[in-house]
Amino acid sequence: MGSEWINKIHHGHVLDVLKKMPDESVHCVVTSPPYWGLRDYGMDGQIGLEPTFDLYLERLIQIFTEIKRVLKKDGTCWVNIGDSYSNYKDCKSIGQTIAKNTSRENAHYIEKGKSVTRNSRMLKKMGLPDKSLCCIPFRFAIRMIDSGWILRNTIIWHKPNCMPSSVGDRFTVDFEYLFFFSKSNTALYWTNEKTMKLVDKQPLGIHGKEGEDWEWIECPNCESKGMTANGKMCKRCKGKGGIRRSFWTGHDYYFEQQFDQYNKPLNRWGGDRTRDTDYSKGDDFAVKERAGRERRPDGRGRNKRTVWSINVSRYPGTHFAVFPEELLVAPINAGCPEYICKKCGKPREKVYEYAEDENWGGNSARAGKTVEEMGGSGKWRGDRTVGRVKMGPMPRERGTIGYTDCGCGTGFRPG
């Protein structure tokens, strides 16, 4: 992408500006179209005042199809959109807020030379009963999926300081939607957390070379004994005591996981470790933890959840519906690579330290013991027979090891 697009603001009709942008040049789009029938922004060609929601959605899909062209194959698109009510009596007045210095004529949708406004007859014809939510976000999400997007998350933007409402026969709405779409749902590239390589052909994984493509880890089914409690051979590891763990991860699109801090005790005694038999592998805990054992939480926190409480910002200017900056932080951090290759444009993936052996102790009876002393075969991983199980600090930090490299050797630039 040329420098005329980077760190520059381009004003204009969204379709005109998008049409000038090169194909597959953007990693992440975060946007919020005007909601249907809500506001007059006082501009010709503005979105949102179409007489029917079908027309509104058609225009949005046209825009998002153009966004799809501009988005890289491994790109993501985040869309904030809210719902509106079909109040018949509000139809003739054009929405709740008329922007300053605009005339009502601007609010009309221009169709074949004549202006049309949303009106109650039209709503009735569309099958929308009076006072009903129009379900615009759902209709939009379904149309996006129908036009080829992959909906990865529906995020609820909860607004603790929402506008109070005097409507007595329903509750006050204090949220909007943020849809997270991707363009791809199959792996486009693979990264190796050991060699830090990034490749675009599917690697061998556990069928490759030990130490480079995969390593032995303890079998979660028999805890390295190769046998189950009743003396039968463990089916999971076929008696080996260990299973192969691949160093490779496939990526359908660029996404960096975000984390929420733990906000409550992890066990019923108020402590920061937990013994939980319900999860065999949960994102709340380091991958290494097993059912029935004391677990240590991941020092980064837990994978970010999908209800985000963020206050609406009060913007002093005439611009309505300004994004609170905080709403953009996670999408930008998740969707925009810190570095991309100058030549091939591939992102660098951040690699975190894998939760290592010292981390899984937690039980004082095991501390300081070797695998054999604990009754394991020790065959599956040489260094484990030497290493002693330690009691690590709680919770354990998982540092960044570094970034993957596509190997072009031409340097990187911010993504």
Ligand X SMILES: C[S@@+](CC[C@H](N)C(=O)[O-])C[C@H]1O[C@@H](n2cnc3c(N)ncnc32)[C@H](O)[C@@H]1O
Question: How many residues belong to the chain?
Answer: 415
Write the binding mask 318 to 357 for ligand X: x where contact by CB under 6 A, - elsewhere.
Answer: ---xxx----------------------------------
**Residue 90 CB, nearest distance to ligand X (Å)?**
19
Q: Cβ(369)–Cβ(392) under 8 Å?
A: no
Residue written as token pair 């060699």: 195
Answer for which of 22, 45, 368, 414 binds ligand X (CB under 6 A) is 45
Write the binding mask 324 to 353 for Zn ion: x where contact by CB under 5 A, - elsewhere.
Answer: -----------------x-xx-x-------
CA distances from 277 to 33, 229, 281, 295 (A): 45, 17, 10, 10
Cβ-based nearer residue to Zn ion, 391 or 408: 408
Please report whether residue 178 would count as binding Zn ion according to CB under 5 A. Answer: no
Cβ-based nearer residue to Zn ion, 98 or 227: 227
Please report whether residue 406 would count as binding Zn ion according to CB under 5 A. Answer: yes
Instruction: State phi, psi for 70 to the nearest 5 degrees.
Output: -75, -25
**Residue 322 CB, nearest distance to ligand X (Å)?**
4
Dig out the tokens for 259 from the structure.
């984390």
Please report whether residue 237 would count as binding Zn ion according to CB under 5 A. Answer: yes
Residue 47's binding partner, choosing from Zn ion, ligand X, none, with beta-carbon cut-off 5 to 8 A by kind? ligand X
Cβ-based nearer residue to Zn ion, 251 or 396: 251
Please report whether residue 13 would count as binding ligand X according to CB under 6 A. Answer: yes
Cβ-based nearer residue to ligand X, 33 or 220: 33
Please report whether residue 214 would count as binding ligand X according to CB under 6 A. Answer: no
Residues that bind ligand X (CB under 6 A): 13-14, 32-34, 41, 45-47, 321-323
